[in-house]
Amino acid sequence: MKKKKTMQSHKGPLTESTEGSKKLHAASFSIGASLFLITIKLAATVVTGSLALLAELLHSVFDLLASILAYLGIRKAEQPADKTHLYGHEKFENLSSLAQTLLIVATSVLIIYEALNRINAPTKIEVPELGLFVMAVTLTIDYFVSRYLHSASSKYGSSALEADAYHFTTDLWGALAVIAGLAFVYLGYPVFDSLAAIAVALLMLWISYALGKKAFHVLMDWSPADSTVEQIERIVSSTPGVKHFHKLRARQAGNKLLVELHIKVSPRITLRKGHRIAHNVKKKLMRGMSNIKDVTIHVEPLVSTKKSEEGLLAK
């Protein structure tokens, strides 16, 4: 029997470890893709002198830094709880996402500043055909990498991978803007190179706002969506022995939820039975909702007064 229990106790961590390794694999893949894009964009920027290409090069450099932050954030988030982090390390993913957001903002401001200077002092763009070819290759890579990362972030609920995916998504739309700008340069309108760079920067700022807002909410213990709370309420109210519940609170930690609530049970049952009911509530919640990491339950006797009977559940 002891041997059987030991095997069961390791089943959960093994599953989490496997999920963590897959998230790290996705982050590693994005690092490799960023390195390749930096190489070809650097070569094209040096040859053509295009500001739009320089903007995309800087974008990819910060994409690389963001991918590294995602990797480090995921690796740290997968570590178990310890004496200094009793609730675990899941929020490191959200910190990574917030750091990536700040990188996007910094890149965008730099690109806009340089583009405005270039509009006032135009520079001739050499070999725009090479730039068009490089951006076509970039477009293809960004499309497949962003799809892969979006799929992985959705599957594993990773905010760090989600932020990384949006980096490649902005790179994809940026590539389209640069292609349009270089096409106009080829037709004899060099100012569109700077306009394309500004378009890339504005797109990056818009994405950074959405990502930063989401990461900030989690770090500030933002409550989950109403639909999630309603699902928790349905599971609790359907548990045999629970006469009423109140003080339900839930907050996010990375891609996991921490839940707290008070349940009311019959005053005629023993403490042992009340504890068993609380255990059943926790077990049902964690089985019914895979994103719940832990549930803290306080058990109270049901007092027969008008105030306490409000919301009483019929059993």
Q: Kindly report the length of the chain.
A: 315
Edge-to-edge strands, sheet with 292-301: 244-253, 256-265, 292-301
Indicate the class that CATH gives domain 2-219.
Answer: mainly alpha
Residue whose structure tokens are 């897959």: 22
What local confidence, expressed as pLDDT, does residue 233 receive?
92
**Average pLDDT over every residue of 194-218:** 80
Residues of the chain with CATH 3.30.70.1350: 226-309
CA torsion 51-54-56-58 (nearest 10°) is -140
The residues near 144 (Cβ < 8 Å, ≥ 6 apart) are none
Say if CB 284 and CB 239 are below 8 A apart: yes
More confident residue, 96 or 13: 96
Q: What integer pLDDT is reported at residue 88 of this predicted model? A: 66
Helix (H) or strand (E) holding 300: strand 292-301
Cβ contacts of residue 22 below 8 Å, gap of 6+?
152, 156
CA distance 282 to 76: 27
Pick the CATH number of 226-309 from 3.30.70.1350, 3.40.50.920, 3.40.50.300, 3.40.50.1820: 3.30.70.1350
> For residue 222, is pLDDT > 60?
yes
Task: Locate 291 and state its tokens.
Answer: 């994103």
* pLDDT, tens digit, 9 for 90 and up, residues 98-157: 877 887 788 788 778 878 887 877 666 666 677 778 888 888 888 898 888 888 888 877
* CATH 1.20.1510.10 domain position(s) in the chain: 2-219
Question: Which of 56, 265, 29 lies closest to 148, judged by CA?
Answer: 29
Neighbouring CB atoms inside 10 A of 37's CB total 26
Of 36-40, 205-209, 266-270, which gets the smallest average pLDDT? Answer: 205-209
Give the count of beta carbons closer than 10 Å to the beta carbon of residue 25. 11
146: buried, middle or exposed (CB in 10 Å: 19+, 13-18, 0-12)?
Answer: buried
Q: How far apart are CA 2 and CA 8, in angstroms?
A: 10
Taking all residues of the chain, what is their mean pLDDT, rounded to a whole number?
Answer: 78
Of the pLDDT bands very low, low, confident and very high (cuts 50, 70, 90), residue 305 is low
